[in-house]
Structure 1
Amino acid sequence: MPHLLTEAPGLVAFVRAVEAGSFSAAARDLGTTPSAVSKSVARLERHLGARLFRRSTRVLALTPEGLAFFDRIAPLLQEIEQSADAVQQTADARGRLRISLPGEIARLLMDALLTRFLALHPALDLEIGITDRPVDLIREDYDVVFRVGAVAEGDLTVRTLAQLEMVLVASPAFLDRWGTPGGVDDLRALPFARYVVGRRVPEIRFADGTTVATRGRVGFDSGFGLCAAARLGLGVAYVTRCIVEEDLRRGDLVAVLPGKPLPPMPFQALHAFGQRAPARIRILSDFIAAEIGRITGGRG
């Protein structure tokens, strides 16, 4: 029987299919087609003389032989990849990378992504979805999503890229009309541009644990809507400082209760590749982390 190392493509395809949960997801990771992954795994099965997957259902499930083989092979491939990383000065980002970004964060990052990042990685095809809603990473076919705020995604790998400073803002005209609040009780009396997640309106929580339940005539599921409403004098908005920095500098918006600290919000990257994410995800996440640090001056 030929040496198992002659089936190296099949070994990689097999492990990636198990980790990603499907031949399609493994193909995206490897920059090939689902048919090619399936054929590589089939050749490996013929070589081993054993079935590795049950194919009678739409769900990709390991046979007992497949599970035993994966438990042996996956750590070996991980060691090989880690050894390669140790001798390579830089990894390359290549293939298709489909990502999701919040709208106002995308606005801040777009020029850098479309110029410097793409110029650095000419073998990469970048697809960007722009939305503030919580997307279903697997069902909507994203490789990695970037989100502001703590997430509870049990099966996803979460990497915190930055801690973003939060701020309450309002327009000068709004404060002239309603008065500048001197404390939390005054703040509770003001209308807000409310952030709406589904049908839920989260409270604003200060660093000392004090909370404020927001009320107001308008609600949004995006930072764009919150900022627009605040500029037009429709209410106080609770947003990341980086997306309103220019408004604050120009005086179009004013910080409300600046002396009462708000806890920062984590800016996070989420993916479903476990501990062996493709290089393109790590490289993009590193780039975005550095760019956010540059935009915020390192203060979040």
Structure 2
Amino acid sequence: MNLFENIKIFIEIVDSGSFTQAAENLQIHRPAVTKALQQLEQESGVRLLQRTTRRINLTSEGEEFYRRSKPLLAQADDLLESFAPHRPLHGQLRVDMPIAFARLIVVPRLPEFYQAHPDLEIILSSSDLRRDMLRDGLDCVLRMGTLDDGDYVAKSLGDIKMSTCASPGYLAKYGVPRTLDDLRHHQGVNWINSSSRQVMPWVFQTATGSEEISLPGKLILDNSEVYISAGIAGLGLLQGMNFFLQPYIDNGQLVEVLPNFPCPHRRLSLLYPHRHLSHKVRVFAQWLEGLVEGLR
């Protein structure tokens, strides 16, 4: 049991980024954190962390130990859960998701999740940039659309409706596109994939299948909040998640266009970094599936 406790403390040091924060998160004294790491390094026979006055860094052995030990603890926790399935969730869940999904869908509904699981602490980072699960110590990540190859398992949570729209001012100036051929005379606010640094194509459903179009534009963004602002300012057409755009369509700041050429729905997936799905992530995933179902 001391070995498992020491591994748990080591993982917390890495995830939190400091000995002091790890002690605070685990509610133990800081010397106990230092002692746990020393014992673990003695047991393994290698140095796991390089410590300086300002930060800690994983050694190459430490990275491998972290990668293999985190799912090991998750499996141990899940083993206990299998014999006590009604035991309340506890500890921390570290998750990253797109800004719009966090702000509009997840955070407003979190009170009901906490009512069911009051002992679980969620560390939620929201970013439209791709995060590295291992490096950032994340338990799971939400991603939209096509997934890159990576060391993770992806669980589909459902499909998200997409919309194409523009501001009334933009449409008054450039006209309302009726066909895909009309887009030659229009500009788009383009979106860039933060990982590949490639500008994402515009996708439309036609009678013969989906069609990808590169739309010219003077602005390329990677932040959803700024993306909306650019569309409202009349800088070009927008194409994005309907639940994000619909409030602005309802209040007249944006107008939906090309209804006969809808953008295909995009897949929302939950990614986790190993083949064993922990009980905490499983419960959270089931809750998220319910939220996505409500968007249809």
Quick check: TM above 0.5? yes
1:206-233: per-residue Cα shift (whole Å, max 9, x none)? 2323221022122210221222211222
Give the deviation of 1:195 after TM superposition: 0.7
Question: In the alignment, residue 288 of structure 1 is paired with which amino acid?
Answer: L
Give the deviation of 1:289 after TM superposition: 2.0
The corresponding residue for 1:190 is 186
**Range with bigger deviation, 254-263 or 233-242:** 254-263
Contact 2:41 2:47 in 1 (8 A): no
Question: In the alignment, residue 119 of structure 2 is paired with which amino acid?
Answer: A
Contact 1:168 1:239 in 2 (8 A): yes
Q: What is the DSSP-based 3-state SS (H/G/I as helix, E as strand, rest coil) of the residue aligned with 2:176? A: coil
- 2:78 and 2:4 map into 1 onto residues whose CA distance is 17
The corresponding residue for 1:227 is 228
Give the deviation of 1:40 after TM superposition: 8.3
Give the deviation of 1:166 after TM superposition: 1.3
Structure 2 residues not aligned, in runs of 5+ = 16-21, 27-31, 49-58, 63-67
Contact 2:160 2:267 in 1 (8 A): yes
The corresponding residue for 1:96 is 92
1:104-163: per-residue Cα shift (whole Å, max 9, x none)? 1111121212x2222322222222212101112221222222121222242112111121
Contact 1:23 1:38 in 2 (8 A): no
Q: What is the DSSP-based 3-state SS (H/G/I as helix, E as strand, rest coil) of the residue aligned with 1:138? A: helix
Give the deviation of 1:266 after TM superposition: 1.3
The corresponding residue for 1:111 is 108
**Does structure 1 residue 291 correspond to structure 2 residue 291?**
yes
Equivalent pairs counted in the alignment come to: 263
- 1:116 and 1:125 map into 2 onto residues whose CA distance is 14
Contact 1:157 1:270 in 2 (8 A): yes
Contact 2:78 2:278 in 1 (8 A): no
TM-score (norm 2): 0.73
Give the deviation of 1:239 after TM superposition: 0.3
- 2:193 and 2:285 map into 1 onto residues whose CA distance is 25
The corresponding residue for 2:276 is 276
CA 1:153–1:96: 2 relative to 1, 3 Å? farther
1:150-185: per-residue Cα shift (whole Å, max 9, x none)? 222421121111211111111222212211112111
**Counterpart among 177, 198, 202 of residue 200 in structure 1:** 198
> How do 1:1-300 residues align onto structure 2 when only pairs under 5 Å count?
10=3, 24=14, 53=44, 55=46, 58-60=59-61, 88-90=84-86, 92-108=88-104, 109-113=106-110, 115-198=111-194, 199-207=197-205, 208-272=209-273, 274-294=274-294, 296=295, 299=296
Question: In the alignment, residue 201 of structure 2 is paired with which amino acid?
Answer: E
Contact 2:162 2:264 in 1 (8 A): yes
TM-score (norm 1): 0.73
- 2:90 and 2:38 map into 1 onto residues whose CA distance is 22
Give the deviation of 1:262 after TM superposition: 2.1
- 1:245 and 1:292 map into 2 onto residues whose CA distance is 15
Superposed CA RMSD in Å reads: 3.6
Q: Which has the larger radius of gyration?
A: 1
- 1:275 and 1:37 map into 2 onto residues whose CA distance is 28
Contact 2:232 2:253 in 1 (8 A): yes
- 1:276 and 1:264 map into 2 onto residues whose CA distance is 29
Q: What is the DSSP-based 3-state SS (H/G/I as helix, E as strand, rest coil) of the residue aligned with 2:60? A: coil
CA 1:268–1:40: 2 relative to 1, 3 Å? farther
Give the deviation of 1:188 after TM superposition: 3.0
Give the deviation of 1:35 after TM superposition: 6.0
- 2:100 and 2:125 map into 1 onto residues whose CA distance is 12
Question: In the alignment, residue 260 of structure 1 is paired with which amino acid?
Answer: F
- 2:90 and 2:247 map into 1 onto residues whose CA distance is 35
